[in-house]
Structure 1
Amino acid sequence: KLLNLKVEGHDDVRVICRGVERDTVKDLPTHVDFMRLHRNTRINIFIHVEFENEATAPGIKKGGVLVVTRPEVELNVVAGDIPEKITVDLAGKDVGDVIHISDVTLPAGVKPTIERDFIIASISAPSGLRGSDEETDETPVTEVIHEAKDAD
């Protein structure tokens, strides 16, 4: 998130937080690293991925499970237009569907830092459904213990 840092006797500076060191016992911040940015500077930053319409997705209604591969995505953005989050719409997604970065509508001027079409999430069948599918695929085998002889 882009912040305005005010220091007495100096002009306001736009910054983002790059790191926080914490006390190991009290978990209170002991040191913060900021990075100064100009409004039109392009930076790589991790943005949180949020999923909407999860309850209405056909795959979830059938008992499928949303498997999130990337809860955050590294994006190249303009410092003045850093999105709070990236939203993925699960409406119409069924069991077996995979959501790639190309399926997500990114804000103008925002692009992934990785060039390949990577997976963000998928809807997979619950283990109970997977187990029952495997059992039905098997054909029972009857073992012959003693074969009757034909009487001619």
Structure 2
Amino acid sequence: MSQAFTVKAEARDKVGKGAARHLRRSGMIPAVIYGDNKEPLSIALPYKETFLALHAGGFMTHVATIELNGEKIQVLPKDYQLEPVRDFLMHVDFLRVSEKSRVTLEVPVHFENEEKSPGLKRGGVLNVVRHEVEVECPANAIPEAFTIDLTGIDIGDSIHASALTLPANVSLTITDRDFTIATIAAPAALRSEEGEADEAEVETAPASDAEDEE
């Protein structure tokens, strides 16, 4: 499994807002481990290590190891809460996983070879519809990211889910359509020129054409 971080946790006997505030004042944050048909575990994690892991990248797509009372528990972060004003980490939910577990999660989409895209060279704009796509996959084979090659992509072209290269045993959760991931949109100046050209064509249309339409 791809490891995000390893952290030592403490069992948390007391729950509730008051207990959580006390934990945070002492440099810890509350967390819960659930799943794998076992009782949820309420734990406390060191704030600094967990906060740094969160902002190191890949937090939600890497399996982590939590050491609790001498036991090493493999988990996947499933959710976290931030204090809206100060961006302070408040709580983390973890899903217990094993070598046989399959998980559903969002995998980021990256783009490469922008310089080889005719559309971008002409001033087009990469309009990303989905920065992440949801997949189901083994917990020990979570893709780091999907990379899409923009070579040859021109203005007006769309990039769909079928352009993704899925590793073995990895499947998209949306299967009823070939959904759009990104498009190359025309620059504002080009759209304006096309609009002016259309108006000019209407203004210079022969009178006979206008009479026929009436």
When the two structures are superposed, what TM-score results if normalisation uses the length of structure 1? 0.86
Q: Distance in 1 between matches of 2:84 and 2:154?
A: 44
The alpha-carbon deviation at position 38 of structure 1 amounts to: 1.4
Q: Deviations over 1:20-57 (max 9, x none)?
A: 12234432222111000112211110011101111221
Secondary structure of 1:33's aligned partner: strand
2:89 matches 1:29: yes
Matching of residue 5 in structure 1 with residue 27 in structure 2 = no
Match in the other structure for 1:145 = none
Structure with greater Cα Rg:
1
2:123 corresponds in structure 1 to 63
- Structure 2 Cα separation of the partners of residues 43 and 128 of structure 1: 45
Residue 100 of structure 1 corresponds to which residue in structure 2?
Answer: 160
Residues 23 and 124 of structure 1: CA distance in aligned 2, closer, same or farther (over 3 Å): closer
| C-alpha RMSD of the superposition | 1.8
The aligned residue for residue 46 of structure 1 is 106
Letter in 2 for 1:101: A
User: Normalized per residue, which structure has more helix?
Assistant: 2
Aligned pair partner of 1:19 in 79, 84, 105: 79
Tell me how many residue pairs correspond in the alignment: 142
Instruction: Report the residue type matching 1:66 in the other structure.
Output: L
The structure 2 residue matched to 1:126, chosen from 169, 183, 187, is: 187
Q: Which structure 2 segments of 5+ residues have no match?
A: 1-61, 206-214
In the alignment, residue 69 of structure 1 is paired with which amino acid?
V
d(CA) in 2 for partners of 1:126, 1:76: 36
Greater Cα shift, 22-31 or 43-52: 22-31
Matches of 1:134 and 1:26 in 2, distance apart? 46
Q: Give, in whole Å, the separation in 2 of the partners of 1:64 and 1:16.
A: 39
Moved more, 36-45 or 94-103: 36-45
1:92 deviates by: 1.0
Q: Which AA in structure 1 matches 2:132?
A: E
Gaps of 5+ in 1: 143-152
CA distance in 1, matches of 2:127, 2:87: 31
Q: Percent identity?
A: 43
